[in-house]
Amino acid sequence: MYEEMLSADIFTRPRQPWQAHINIKHLLTDETLEPEQINKLGKEIAGKLRRCSLFTDEEIIANFEHVDDEDEFKSILDDMYSECDRARIWVK
């Protein structure tokens, strides 16, 4: 029984603690936004990402700066969350 537990990949090295944070959750709502509002929100998030030295994915930043479609915005947001997790940036 213990051999199975030890052979399982449950005893891996713990992940590194969060190295930085980006405060954007207060900007996100469940409301349907017009293209101009989505673009403004994308630019605001891009500005916050640029100020975080640990966030280095320029493509995501550029995508936020030019987005005006809700589905595209959600896709970029998903990419941002993945990149932030990889870089150990807490999104709050």
d(CA 41, CA 28): 9
Q: Helix, strand or coil for residue 86? A: helix
Q: Which residue has the higher pLDDT, 30 or 73?
A: 73
pTM reported for the whole predicted model: 0.81
Least confident span in 19-33, 48-62, 68-82: 19-33
Sign of CA dihedral 69, 73, 74, 75: positive
Whether residue 5 has pLDDT greater than 70: no
Nearest one of 68, 5, 80, 2 to 37, comparing CA atoms: 68
List the chain domain ranges: 34-92
**Mean predicted lDDT score pLDDT of the chain:** 88
Q: How confident is the model at residue 13 (pLDDT cuts 50, 70, 90)?
A: low
pLDDT of residue 71: 95
Q: State the average pLDDT over residues 3-14.
A: 50
Chain segment 23-55, per-residue pLDDT in tens: 999 999 888 999 999 999 999 999 999 999 999
